[in-house]
Amino acid sequence: MLLSMTGIGEARVENERLSVSVELRSVNNRHLKVSLRGPDAYLSLEHEVEKIVRSRVARGTVSVNLRVDRLQGIAGYTVQRDVLAGYVSQLRTLASELHIAAPSELASLMMLPGVVTEGAATALEPADGEIIARAMHAALDQLHQFRVREGEAMARDLSQLCDGLESGMTSIAGRAPLVIQEYRTRLHSRITEFLRDEGLSVSDVDLVREVGLFADRCDINEELLRLRSHVEQFRGLISSKESTGRTMEFLCQEMNREVNTIGSKANDVEIARSVVECKGAIERIREIVQNVE
């Protein structure tokens, strides 16, 4: 089952003392990175929060936005009068210089940094970790569901791209034997025309030897065999029970390597067109895989 590294999850949990809201946002990353934003008193739980995320997420950048509200009212908060007075004094001076009205709404001033602080009543208590963990797991459940839905859509797209890649491989395999036949015909015609004025003719042995060397140089059977094996393995990963984005990235590199080799060895215009189409499919596959956990 493919999992997307992009997703959103939210949850809200309350007890008799706290209301905890958690918002999770994840984006793709080669490794797992967890960042926490929340009240200063709760930043000491960052290690525990990261541990919870790591138990459910393998790769990606996960941003955790934590909000904690005290249900007992405003007793845990203090208005810093000196800070507020400093803001008011500076705003009045600035308003006078700019000849505009000074702000009079006290509520808007309360939102300025440092005006309202958490008091001693908001200190972290042992029971706080439990309710935050509950909220984290609930948000992670939503995040997981989002990532599963995204993963199902990616799996459908990847399967269709694999179909296109296999179609290109079939075209290449069907065209490859004709390349040698056409080369033999062209070579025989050119040499015969060149030797006609001299009264000579080309030896079948020499012609067969030259065609054999050309066939050896442009033989792409091994590359096609390995490419088919990579695509088959990739399809297996799409339907696997686990999300294996790293392995998929490696297979994309190997598939691209085989297609490049086919393009350089085939020496044929029609095969070159199919190679371009295959490379386009692999590039689209790679872009999707970059977002697979």
Q: Is the pLDDT of residue 89 over 60?
A: yes
Residue 35's pLDDT band (boundaries 50, 70, 90)? very high
- Please give the average per-residue pLDDT across 75-80, as a whole number: 66
Name the band, by pLDDT with cuts 50, 70 and 90, for residue 209: confident
Task: Give the least confident one: 144-153, 193-202, 274-283.
Answer: 193-202
Burial class from Cβ neighbours inside 10 Å (0-12, 13-18, 19+) for residue 136 reads buried
Tens-digit pLDDT profile for residues 261-271: 998 887 788 88
**pTM greater than 0.75:** no
The answer to whether residue 120 scores a pLDDT higher than 50 is no
The pLDDT score that the predictor gives to residue 141 is 96
Summarize pLDDT for 224-249 with one digit per residue, the tens: 999 999 999 999 999 888 888 999 99
What percentage of the chain exceeds 90 in pLDDT? 48
pLDDT above 50: residue 74: no
Q: Mean pLDDT across the stretch 14-36?
A: 91
Averaged confidence pLDDT in the chain: 84
